[in-house]
């Protein structure tokens, strides 16, 4: 006689929910003819209809490719709708200190990373390397070296701002700890 198997729902903690079952769950297929992928992405069949198509990700992207949110609106209506969308979503704006565009280890802000790009320095460069990169670049486009060159003057100002951002960040790091 075979030994009965113990189920997962004995004792505490209970390892599955009370109303769960072990039967296979039917999954909706993509509504695109000939596609057998899972249809997880709902898309409207028509603008004012509650009916929905259910596509896989590939076919949902294809369906939405030519969709224009502002279709049929004149310029004033487009501007008004865009302004209303910005106003409604302003409360969800991401704080700068929660940004994902860092050095990877979270030690550099997005502004610091942009400044490193301007100086063409490595993302994990120490301050001595940053200072060296700034001096090399600044010598190439300094107004005394290229007098009257507006592009060089603008590039020099970008380099100065980038260096100031990185220097202030380094000062904050030293002050903290």
Q: What is the arithmetic mean of pLDDT over 113-125?
A: 90
Residues 6 or more apart whose Cβ sits within 8 Å of residue 60? 41, 43
Q: How confident is the model at residue 21 (pLDDT cuts 50, 70, 90)?
A: low
Residue 93 structure tokens: 């704006």
- Domain residue ranges of the chain, discontinuous segments joined by +: 27-88, 104-172
158, two tokens: 């970008």
- The Cα 32–Cα 68 span in angstroms is 21
Of residues 172 and 7, more confidently modeled: 172
Q: Is the pLDDT of residue 91 over 70?
A: no
Query: Could you tell me which CATH class the domain 104-172 is placed in?
Result: mainly alpha
């Amino acid at each position: 006689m075979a030994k009965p198997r113990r189920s997962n729902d004995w004792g505490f903690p209970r390892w599955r929910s009370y109303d769960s079952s072990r039967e296979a769950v039917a999954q909706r297929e993509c509504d695109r003819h000939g596609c057998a992928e899972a249809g997880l992405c709902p898309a409207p069949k028509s603008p004012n209809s509650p009916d929905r198509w259910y596509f896989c990700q590939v076919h949902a992207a294809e369906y939405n490719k030519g969709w224009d949110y502002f279709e049929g609106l004149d310029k004033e209506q487009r501007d008004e709708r865009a302004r209303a969308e910005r106003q409604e979503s302003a409360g969800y704006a991401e704080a700068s200190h929660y940004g994902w565009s860092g050095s990877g280890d979270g030690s550099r802000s997005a502004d610091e990373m942009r400044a490193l790009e301007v100086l063409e320095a490595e993302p994990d460069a120490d301050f001595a390397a940053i200072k060296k990169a700034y001096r090399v670049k600044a010598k190439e486009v300094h107004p005394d070296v290229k007098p009257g060159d507006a592009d060089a003057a603008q590039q020099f100002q970008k380099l100065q701002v980038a260096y100031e951002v990185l220097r202030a960040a380094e000062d904050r790091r030293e002050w903290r700890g």
